[in-house]
Chains A and B, each alone.
Chain A
Amino acid sequence: MIRLANVSHDYGGRGLLSGVDLHIAPGAFHFLTGPSGAGKSTLLKLCYGELRPRSGRIELFGQNLAALSRDALADTRRRIGVIHQDCQFLDHLTLAENVALPFIATGRPVPEADLHELLSWVGLEHAADALPPTLSGGERQRAALARAVIMSPEVVLADEPTGNVDWEMSQRLLTLLVELNRMGTAVMIATHDLTLIRNAKALVSARILRIADQTLQSAGSDL
């Protein structure tokens, strides 16, 4: 579904990623690790087309990213649920509206029942009408996860989805992602949290990737 071939990227300074090959197939479950600043967030941004690579080829659902029209890219993004490291909410909208934003922004009616079920799943039904800046970091991350999955995307890309939540909640979020994966959604989670990865191994057969020396390596099971 998402395929990177020989992709290199940098932000104008020193090289960050070089010669990266990656394939996220339907139903796959990937973890992405690496030290802070290694380029995990950058790699995810390349995967949903927020960044264009310096070189190499990126295919989203069989279409060359470089050749996608602006509207086609917008439509493609609806098939990818993203949990951003910094959440990316609209601070003047309520939490519920932020979670429903993928529907609102594509002019579709918001499925109220699904929205409330999802909010209670991530333990936020009490905060539906709160504005994002009044919520804790963990609450925002849970909401970000809810927004990423509300459109039943084919792929979920999660950037540190459990960075700010307690152990119990992180298990719960992981379970939700594993649930989705069992129903066919491909998942890629960028994280430092090795415990999360270890716990996941009991639930799902995940592939662990690691960014080191600007390249993407398979970390195997030595965690």
Chain B
Amino acid sequence: MSFVEILRVRFDDAGKVVPSSGYTTVLTTLTAGAMAFLAVFALALSLSSGQLAQRWSDTLSQSATLRLSAAPSEIGAQTAAVLEILRTTPGVVSTRVLDIDEQRALLEPWFGPDLPVENLALPRLIEIIETPEGFDAAGLRLRLSTEAPGAVLDDHTRWRRPLVAAAASLRGLAWVSVVLIAGAMAAMITLAAGFSLAANVQVIRVLRLVGARDAFIARAFVRRFTLRALIGAAGGTVLGVAAFALLPVAGESGFLTGLGFQGAGWFLPLVIPPLAGLIAWAATRTAAFRVLRRES
């Protein structure tokens, strides 16, 4: 009997020949519900940390800024020296000296449009575009300190690198949780099915005596537990998704932005109930055939 066959809910005789033991089936439903609820969270965590890693690594933008302050008479020579150093630094793709207008645009929010930029001893700003691997900032600083003492390397976005790595491992952890949840559910349903089979040895015996094959006897148990897991997981999934829908996640800004489901992501939890049913089907089937082989 295939898993799909069970999905066609037919309360026929195969299900009826085993008495419904309310206790184990209720436990199975509750377990599947709780596990599905947790799985929704693990899934959300995985999606969100994936998006977080993506967002953070986008803003890394693979660029750094170099600020060069020097006496007006030296600034030209030092700029040339710095550009030469950068040209020979591995990990640097290109460099560009920002012109006066760009500098004005950068300062405008702070000092207004009328700042006489031309008369100020502003530092030169050099934009550095890096390769994805980046350059060796410490090594670069060392070279700059000897050859262009007025240069300050500003790589402020670098602190996000470990965060990106953290978000990526958070995502890995979320997937490990999903696997653990699935495993725990399989284990619990195996136990529940084993208990139910043990409680029904006499029923199994009678069915054998009237000529029932193992597959028929197993079906009665498999159907029951699969349906229970499906129903329980559906309930748990609905509750979990509802919890996220109602969760007051920090709005558009802030660290937790995007924790939860977005767009099509809301449909992803739909896979949880069928998956739970599949796990229950496999677990009960294995348990049933093992018991039936032993009790012959």
Contact = CB atoms under 8 A, between A and B. Distances in A.
Interface of A: 48, 50, 70-71, 74-75, 77-78, 82, 84, 88-90, 92-93, 97, 101-102, 104-107, 147, 151
Interface of B: 13-14, 16-17, 19, 203, 205-214, 216, 292-293, 296
29 contacts: A70-B213, A70-B293, A71-B213, A74-B212, A74-B213, A75-B211, A77-B210, A78-B210, A82-B209, A88-B206, A89-B206, A90-B19, A90-B206, A92-B19, A93-B16, A93-B17, A101-B17, A102-B211, A104-B13, A104-B17, A105-B207, A105-B210, A105-B212, A106-B210, A106-B212, A106-B216, A107-B13, A107-B216, A151-B211
A101 B203 CA distance: 12
Given A90-B206, A104-B13, A151-B211, 11 more contacts: A70-B293, A74-B213, A77-B211, A82-B209, A88-B206, A93-B17, A102-B210, A102-B211, A104-B17, A105-B216, A147-B210
Contact of A70 (B19, B207, B214): B214
B214 A101 contact: no
Contacts of B19: 90, 92
Nearest to A91: B19
Contacts of A97: 16
Contact of B203 (A75, A90, A104): A90
A48 B212 CA distance: 14
Contacts of B13: 104, 107
A77 B212 CA distance: 9
A74 B16 contact: no
Contacts of B14: 107
A104 B207 CA distance: 9
